Amino acid sequence: MLIPVILAGGAGTRLWPVSRASYPKQFLPVVGEQSMLVETLSRLKPAATGDPIVICQESHRFLVAEQLRAVNQRAEIVLEPMMRNTAPAIAVAALAALERDEEAMLLVLPADHAIAQPEALLAALEPARIAAQTGKLVTFGIHPTRAETGYGYIEAEEPAADAAVPVIRFIEKPAPAVAADYFAGGRHLWNSGMFMMRADRYLETLSIERPAMLAAVSAAWRGRASDLDFLRLDAEAFARCESESIDYAVMESTPDASVVALDAGWSDVGSWESLWEIADKDPDGNALDGDVMIEDVGDSLIYAESRLVAAVGVRNLLIVETADAVMVAPRASAQAVKTLAESLKRVGRPEWNQHRRVHRPWGSYDGIHAADRYQVKQICVAPGARLSLQRHFHRAEHWIVVRGTARVTRGDDTFLLEENQSTYIPLGVIHRLENPGKIQLELIEVQSGSYLGEDDIERYDDVYHRD
C-alpha cells in the first residue's frame, strides 16, 4: 500500500504578509486556484493506494479538515502538540501507516511545494518504489536550473531519472562560487525534501540513528486519542522528542540513502523571489496579481489583495499588499522577509500571526474597523455551522443580518432573524449564533465595551471542543 504523507506544519514566514502563522502558505492558493495542500494531494491521486496521512499543527486542524472536506478528500489528520521538525513527524506517519498495512510504503511530501509537471513526479515514483522495496531510503533530487545558494544539495555519482542511485553526501547551502561549480558539474541535485521509503524500514533506521527520538514518538503514538476528525498525540511524551530534520537524523548517516533525479518544474515557493521565478510575467518581467497599475516598471512582483496598487519607475521590487499590511523590498532581499516577520512577532504586532479576516471552524470574521470602546466586524457562518454557547464580561454586541438566516440564542430565548433584521446581546448574557440555512450567513456585528479582546469569552458548549 502506497500512503502519501503530507507534512503541513510549516509557518511560511518568508511569504509574509500573505502567509501568516495562523494561515500559512500551504493553505493558500499561492500558485493555482486551489490551496497548495489540496494541489499536493490532487497530484498524488493516480499513484496512492491508501488514504493520505496529513501531519499538521493543532492550531491548523480545522483549516486542514475544511479544505479536505471541500474537495471530498479522505485523510487521516494527525496533530502535533508542538513542532518537532520532519524526522519525528515522519516517524508518527510510519507508525500510523503500519496500523493499516505491515508492508506500507510512505511517499513523504511537504504540503507547500509547487510541481509544474506532476506527470514527471508520477513517473519518478516507480524507480523510487523499486529501490525502497529493497530497503533503501529514497529521496528525490531536483536538477538545478541555476546556481542557487538557498537550497541544500545532494551529490550522486550519476544522477538518473529512471533509477535510484546511491547518495554520496548531503551538502549544506553552498557559497555562490561553489553553487556555480555544482550547477556546471551535473552531479549535484537540489535537496527537495521529498522521500519514499517503507514504513518499517524508516523506523528500523531511526532506532539505530536516534533511539531516544523513536522512543518518545512511540510513547506519543501509544497515548494518542481521537478528537472529532483528528488524532491527538500524547503531548507530554512528544515534548520529550528531539527536534530534528530527517536529513540530519537519518539520511546523512544511513548507508541506504538513495536518490532519484527529478525534472518536474519543482519549486519550494520558499520566498517571494522564488514565486516571481515561477510566475507568468509580462514582457518587462513583471509578475502582477490583483488590481495593479504600472508605468515604466520592470522585473518586479506586485501583489494586490484588497485595493489598487500603483507603481511608477521602479525595478526589481517586491510589493505585496493585503487588507492590513504592505510590504516593499528589493527582490534581492526576499529571504530577509522572514526576519521582518520575526521582528513583528517580537514586538507583539498581531499582523505576524493573523490576517484581518480570521478563520474559525464555523466560518470567519473580518475586523472592518476598530476604535476606542467599539469595533465592527463582518461575520460569515457556513451552512449548518454554529458558534459556541458563550458570554462576554466586558462587551455587548449588536447583530444585523445582511444575508441568509440566523438562529439566535439569547438567554432563555431562541429565535430566527432574516435579512435586514437585527438584535442586541447585552453584556454578560449567554448567547449563540447558528446558521440553519443552505446558504452562507453574513451579518455585521458592532461590539461596544471597555475591553474588546477575543479572550473575553466564557464557553458553555462548543461542538468543536475548543477551550
**pLDDT tens readout for residues 187-238:** 899 999 999 999 999 999 999 999 999 999 999 999 999 988 899 999 999 9
Residues 239 and 334 in one domain: no
Q: Which three cell numbers stand for residue 31?
A: 500558485
Task: Please tell me whether residues 336 and 295 are part of one structural domain.
Answer: yes
For residues 154 and 95, state if they share a domain.
yes
* Same domain? 184 vs 245: yes
Q: Provide the grid cell at 357.
A: 479576516
Give the pTM. 0.91
Q: What is the pLDDT of residues 50-72, one digit of tens each?
A: 999 999 999 999 999 999 999 99
Q: Are 387 and 322 contained in the same domain? A: no
Q: Are residues 129 and 54 both part of a single domain?
A: yes
Q: Residue 293's CB: how many other CB atoms inside 10 A?
A: 13
Which of the listed residues 267, 283, 311 is the one where a domain comes to its end?
267
Q: Between the CA atoms of 380, 386, 391 and 397, what dihedral angle is there, to the nearest 10 degrees?
A: 30
Residue range of the domain that includes 83: 2-267
CB 423, CB 410: distance < 8 Å: yes
Q: Let me know: does 258 contact 165? Beta carbons within 8 Å.
A: yes
309 and 422 together in one domain? no
**Sign of the four-CA dihedral 399, 401, 404, 408:** positive
Quick one: 123 and 153 in the same domain? yes
End position of a domain, from candidates 294, 316, 343: 343
% pLDDT > 90, the chain? 93
Task: Give tens-digit pLDDT for 412-440.
Answer: 999 999 999 999 999 999 999 999 999 99
Check residue 351 and report its DSSP letter: G
In a domain, 348, yes or no: no
Which residue(s) pair with 318 in the sheet?
A: 301, 329
Cell numbers representing residue 43 in the block: 497530484
Which of 397, 370, 104, 122 has the alpha carbon at shortest distance from 262?
Answer: 122
Closest Cα partner for 14 from 24, 1, 3? 24
Does residue 144 share a domain with residue 55? Answer: yes
Q: How confident is the model at residue 403 (pLDDT cuts 50, 70, 90)?
A: very high
CATH number at residue 127: 3.90.550.10
286 plus 424 within the same structural domain = no
Cis peptide before 17 (omega within 30 of 0): yes
CB-based contact 333:341 (threshold 8 Å): no
User: Domain for residue 74, yes or no?
Assistant: yes
Q: Which of 229, 250, 267 is the last residue in one of the domains? A: 267
For position 410, what pLDDT does the model report?
98
